[in-house]
Structure 1
Amino acid sequence: MPHSQPGGTGHLLQRTFFASETARVDPALYADAGGTPVRVERDCAVLSDGSRLSTDTYFGRFAAAYWQRYTDVGTVAVEFDYSCDDGAELTVATRASDISGRIRPLTVVGLTGAGRAVVEVQIDRYLDGGAAWFDLAVVGGRARVWNARWTTAVEPVRDRRVSVVICTFNRPDDAVATVGAVARDADLAERVETVHLVDQGTRRVADAAGFDDLRADLGSRLDYLNQANLGGSGGFSRGIYEATAAGRPLTDVLVMDDDILCESESILRMTSFARFAREPMLVGAQMLLLSETTRIHMTAETDDLDHLTCADPPPNARRGVNALEFRQDVRVIAGYNAWWSCLIPREAIDAVGLPMPYFIKWDDIEYGVRCRRAGFPTVTLPNAGVWHADFHLKDVDDWSSYFGQRNVLISAAIHSRFDGKTISATVAEHIGELIVGLKYGQAAIELRAVRDFLAGPYVLADGGRAKLAEINALRSEYDDTRLRPASEIADLPVIPRPPAPAKKWERRVLVKRAAQQLLGRRAPGRVAIGADDGAWWHVGRFTSAVVTDASQTGVRVRTYDRATSVAQGRELATLCWRLRRQAPELQRAWREAVPQLTSRENWERLFATD
């Protein structure tokens, strides 16, 4: 039953906010008034006579299934301050869902006057799925609700603070905003030991407007570091290295991108879950799209290293759903969580070491897989999210595809069966599609990636800086990599793509399209193709195609070149033959190199490079 008391009943697990700190985020992600007259602020809701407000929303729910499965918290309390006009009655109803989304009532209580309400909720009957929330309704006048929190009287398993690590490169304003979201949150201040801000750019964060305010807010808790550009893996590794250095307090580590729109409540929920988890585990936030703030990139992710893929939805996970419409009731087992925001327990870092010196791409995935194989699984919380730049607005045809291809091969060699037949066939199909799709520049750098992987672990010796310059130089030799203003190209007929070939026929279609190109059976002239229609099996039908870049900022001209196509095809065949033949020895070499590559000594050497 509810009662009034001056303080809370226990440890803070999560807060219920009724709106975002920024107007660009739909408040319906936090609370839903159903069209009734309700005025909401960040921490307060004012309900008029006859109005209702539900927290059965993305940020309003309590992820009961995850708390039941991974913690010993059996009872939580919903607490909030309230005041009602004379004659007004505020009704508080707690409700729950199950794995199928069916809703069941838990408690219904009526409140009058003013005070602090505390309503208990049992965390049971949620093992496979379900969440809990509360709804408000008022009659007879107006009511105000504020300072809503979910707490527990259960003691945490580990009462540990966190070190926040943010890596940035020439995004000073974004970095200030992200660190500021942490610095401004009073509840987080009790949990954050240090913010390690690793600046690898030439436009220094220290010169940005607002940085002095961060210094004042965080004081000695801000550790601002400058170093040479070692990519995302080097930036994050520096922060993790500093957070776990001898003499520093024992903390978990929370890694975050610099270019996110940060919801500080998500960080609080991640730290809460990590404190109460029975066993140490990685706790991640979901990615919401920055351009479409109500859409979830993926509810959870896993990998298939046997086939060189990541960002695959595990069973019951969903991709691209609208958080205003889709309720995440089914408990999903994640394989890893990307580092737009992910908490890593100190025990895992001590057990597996630092990240691989990949420069960029796959460092967070490989680390999550390494932790998982060492007994530290990942949970992606369904009511914790940050907004990140949309992946579908980034074209994969850029310099980073070299690192993606090289690093996935390394990760597969370390962690998968690494069957030579399967791996070589997968590489042949992928790069073959680039060649047939007239992406000769991208094919060239990915062929270089395979060649470098075959050369062995020494290719990671410099952390990737020299390789970045080399890859950019190689890529610039191919005209199809150049992003042009659309105004440079005359209007052309736009050719939409036909239906995609069935998955089981894709390899056959690839061989057929390559043969047609060699035999000159290509549509003559030049056509225009939209970004969404730029699949290899469509572009490869034409002699020349002007393809819109995924960013929608320009176009690329892709033109068939017989000599380049034949030369790249031959190189691909040679490399794939070597992959298949040398798979066992490559796997052994890369696995043996992991302890040295991820050691503090190796990273100290790289950090010292100017």
Structure 2
Amino acid sequence: MEQLLQNIIFPQSSALEGNYELFYLGGRGIYDMEQKKLRLADTSVTDFCSYMNSFSLIKWKEYTAVGPVRLVLELSGRGQVELVGYHLNIHSPVRQTFGVYDFDFADEQELDIPFPENGEMVIGFEIRALSDVTVYGGAWYGSYEEGQRRDVVLSIATTTMKKEDFITRNMAALKEDILDADDDMKENFYIHVVDNGRTLDAKAMNSWHLTVHPNKNTGGSGGYARGMIESLEQDPPATHVLLMDDDVTIQPESVRRTYHLLSYLRDEYKDSFISGAMLLYEEMQFQHEDVGAIRDACTLTSLKGLFDMTEKRSLLKNEEEGCGYGHRYAGWWYCCIPAHMIREKGLPLPLFIRFDDVEFGLRCKPKFVTMNGICIWHMGFAGKYNLAMDRYQMCRNPLVVDAVGSMPSTVNAPDYVRKAFRSELLKFNYNAAELILRAFKDFLRGPDFFQIDQGEKIIKENVQKNEKYQPMNNWPDIEVNFVEIYEDFDRKPLETLWYRITYNGQRLWPFGTLKKGMIPVFFSDVYQPGRYVGHDAMLAVNVDNRTAVERHMDKNRYRALKREWDQAYRYYRRNRSSIVKSYQDAKPYLVSTEFWKKYLEI
């Protein structure tokens, strides 16, 4: 039995066309977006062993029992197709060739090429034009034995909050390319748009297999919980739920490849999450992450690091199994979850926003399936430091995750929050310290606090604490090196001792500052004690958008915040066992359909 596994695709937007090397390399050609065909000039050589159009043989063989593979191309003109494959020799790509096939077509015709059996990581093809050549499309096909195909009902659950342009564009693309097309998956494909902002015209958007659900603004956690519930209760129920962010650019082909992967997964991968990669919207050739991990320091990281997906080395390294971190998760910008895992493990915790995807991955402990070409584009996070999110949500929520028992034992969330509070006091960022204190005290309120629908209210209050950055030219007399500002300075032993005893001059020190002038520092949660020591004023600089804000020592605010923190932390240490028990006892209810239906009022 033969199955179409991947289509050969071309960029379907001007932004992606500007990054055409994700689709093909070498001779650029001229792409007709309306007629969806690529014209290649005489004597040009175009390489389709690219991020979007190569065939990840190593992954298809690992995740499925695929047999012989063949390539079908729709072409006109005269030229040659050369079959190629690549593997890594430690870090260097090694190219192999598997034959050259001539074609000479006056009109559009199919060229059907069986790909020889081989052990390469990825395989692809190059077209050498011996006249003007037009490529109309093509596909990779794989062979499977009868009975290997699984019954799959795939449901997309995307939650949106006033991102109408993104969501309507993405839904239109999925409708055109899958639901309204002659596609064998469309009967088993559903879309649920959870509208937290209630700004979409549901009547206008609703159509066959696409439903908009107006929803309370319960954050990403509530939106995805609603999408999961709708997917599990649709008729027929989804076998897999694909969680997708709203402010992303998608390729419908990524969804199609996800569906075909699910249809032939080996038994050992039936519980796996398919984790689509996040590429940067502002630099579209760069992959930010496909699988994430949590460090022992309670910080999050990409498992593989930043890859330029127009380079062969990155293309191949990306198909290797990531290593170095054992505690992994899949970001919910594109994460496909088996429905039986949701029924078994439950719905998200009501964290409103941030860390809900991390907790779910840590709770389920799945294997992760990744593949070149299964991806979305999302705006990167550089320059987007936000106290309401990064100092309240990202301190409170790890404490909850730790208390319910999902956090790895090597990760000490309370110690992370304690150090975060201390670092903000030392850099005179009192608003940030206040939000961390609020996060800690709200956590101490126990699980009942999270059963109250107040996430939007909390965010609105906390946003008022965000610093007001101004253009850098407001400080013409302060010299800022935008490269070196990432670096810290060395401290002398006596400076370190003074810094620790006096909390950088905020206690037990009635004298003036040790150093004169305002010191430039990096703006986010980066800790630079060598820069801070001895100064009573700092200029926090956002390098990405060339803005800054002043921070000044305020001993009264320091004393008030420190006193309140010490009281709260003493309470936590005395009552830790009972606090943790209350969260663990409440967890089954907090992730249940019963709780979420009541919370969402559905």
TM-score interval w.r.t. the shorter chain? Answer: 0.7 to 0.9
AA in 2 matched with 1:58: Y
Distance 2:477 2:125 in 1: 56
Distance 2:497 2:69 in 1: 57
Deviations 1:454-512 (A, max 9, x none): 332112112443xx424643664x5xx34244399453413443833699x99989737
Secondary structure of 1:229's aligned partner: coil
Q: 1:323 aligns with which of 265, 290, 309?
A: 309
Instruction: Tell me which residue corresponds to 2:228.
Output: 240
Structure-2 change in CA distance of 1:550 and 1:510 (3 Å): farther
Structure-2 change in CA distance of 1:143 and 1:599 (3 Å): same
Aligned positions of 1:74-89 closer than 5 A = 74-84=67-77, 88-89=78-79
Instruction: Tell me which residue corresponds to 1:51.
Output: 44
Structure 2 portions without partners, runs of 5+ = none
Deviation at 1:577, TM superposition (A): 4.5
Deviations 1:64-101 (A, max 9, x none): 222222221133222112223xxx33233232323634
Distance 2:499 2:113 in 1: 62
Deviation at 1:446, TM superposition (A): 1.5
Q: 1:172 aligns with which of 152, 159, 164?
A: 164
Deviation at 1:27, TM superposition (A): 0.5
Instruction: Tell me which residue corresponds to 1:603.
Output: 596
Secondary structure of 1:23's aligned partner: helix
Deviation at 1:283, TM superposition (A): 0.5
Structure-2 change in CA distance of 1:53 and 1:199 (3 Å): same
Secondary structure of 1:594's aligned partner: helix
Structure-2 change in CA distance of 1:575 and 1:271 (3 Å): farther
Deviation at 1:111, TM superposition (A): 2.2
Instruction: Tell me which residue corresponds to 2:478.
Output: 493
Structure-2 change in CA distance of 1:225 and 1:502 (3 Å): farther
Q: Give the TM-score of the pair, scaled to structure 2.
A: 0.85
Structure-2 change in CA distance of 1:543 and 1:15 (3 Å): same
User: 1:112 aligned to 2:113?
Assistant: no
Q: 1:366 aligns with which of 335, 354, 359?
A: 359
Aligned residues: 569
Instruction: Tell me which residue corresponds to 1:386.
Output: 376
Structure-2 change in CA distance of 1:367 and 1:80 (3 Å): same
Deviations 1:399-456 (A, max 9, x none): 4631221111222332235579x44433222221122122211221111212222332
Aligned positions of 1:392-431 closer than 5 A = 392-399=382-389, 401-413=391-403, 414-418=405-409, 422-431=412-421
Q: Give the TM-score of the pair, scaled to structure 1.
A: 0.84
Note if contact 1:359-1:463 (Cα within 8 Å) is conserved in structure 2. no
Q: 1:135 aligns with which of 112, 126, 130?
A: 126
Structure-2 change in CA distance of 1:365 and 1:124 (3 Å): farther
Distance 2:498 2:211 in 1: 54
AA in 1 matched with 2:315: Q
Secondary structure of 2:391's aligned partner: helix
Instruction: Tell me which residue corresponds to 1:19.
Output: 11
Further displaced range: 327-336 or 142-151: 327-336
Note if contact 1:63-1:383 (Cα within 8 Å) is conserved in structure 2. no
User: 1:589 aligned to 2:582?
Assistant: yes
AA in 1 matched with 2:536: T
Note if contact 2:275-2:330 (Cα within 8 Å) is conserved in structure 1. yes
Instruction: Tell me which residue corresponds to 1:251.
Output: 239
Instruction: Tell me which residue corresponds to 1:557.
Output: 550
Secondary structure of 2:443's aligned partner: helix
Aligned positions of 1:543-582 closer than 5 A = 543-549=536-542, 552=545, 554-580=547-573, 582=575
Structure-2 change in CA distance of 1:608 and 1:109 (3 Å): same
Instruction: Tell me which residue corresponds to 1:5.
Output: none
Secondary structure of 1:50's aligned partner: coil
Structure-2 change in CA distance of 1:229 and 1:492 (3 Å): farther
Note if contact 2:20-2:28 (Cα within 8 Å) is conserved in structure 1. no
Distance 2:570 2:514 in 1: 29
Distance 2:141 2:413 in 1: 49
Further displaced range: 290-299 or 535-544: 535-544
Note if contact 2:83-2:99 (Cα within 8 Å) is conserved in structure 1. yes
Instruction: Tell me which residue corresponds to 1:6.
Output: none
Further displaced range: 362-371 or 73-82: 73-82
Q: 1:344 aligns with which of 337, 345, 367?
A: 337
Deviation at 1:567, TM superposition (A): 2.9
Aligned positions of 1:189-268 closer than 5 A = 190=186, 193-201=189-197, 204-206=199-201, 212=204, 214-215=205-206, 219-245=207-233, 247-268=235-256
Secondary structure of 2:397's aligned partner: helix
User: 1:271 aligned to 2:264?
Assistant: no
AA in 2 matched with 1:262: I
Secondary structure of 1:382's aligned partner: coil
Secondary structure of 1:429's aligned partner: helix
Structure-2 change in CA distance of 1:73 and 1:98 (3 Å): farther
Distance 2:126 2:254 in 1: 21
Distance 1:510 1:471 in 2: 33
Distance 1:512 1:78 in 2: 70
Deviations 1:213-235 (A, max 9, x none): x54xxx23121111210001111
AA in 1 matched with 2:100: V
Distance 1:194 1:463 in 2: 29
Structure 1 portions without partners, runs of 5+ = 1-8
Distance 2:88 2:76 in 1: 32
Deviations 1:81-130 (A, max 9, x none): 2223xxx332332323236343242521322234322333467636xxx3
Instruction: Tell me which residue corresponds to 1:62.
Output: 55
Note if contact 1:271-1:343 (Cα within 8 Å) is conserved in structure 2. no
* Identity among equivalent pairs (%): 22
Distance 1:553 1:221 in 2: 46
Instruction: Tell me which residue corresponds to 1:163.
Output: 155
Further displaced range: 436-445 or 485-494: 485-494
- CA RMSD, aligned part only? 3.3
Note if contact 1:544-1:557 (Cα within 8 Å) is conserved in structure 2. yes
Structure-2 change in CA distance of 1:502 and 1:50 (3 Å): farther
Structure-2 change in CA distance of 1:475 and 1:59 (3 Å): closer
Note if contact 2:276-2:290 (Cα within 8 Å) is conserved in structure 1. no
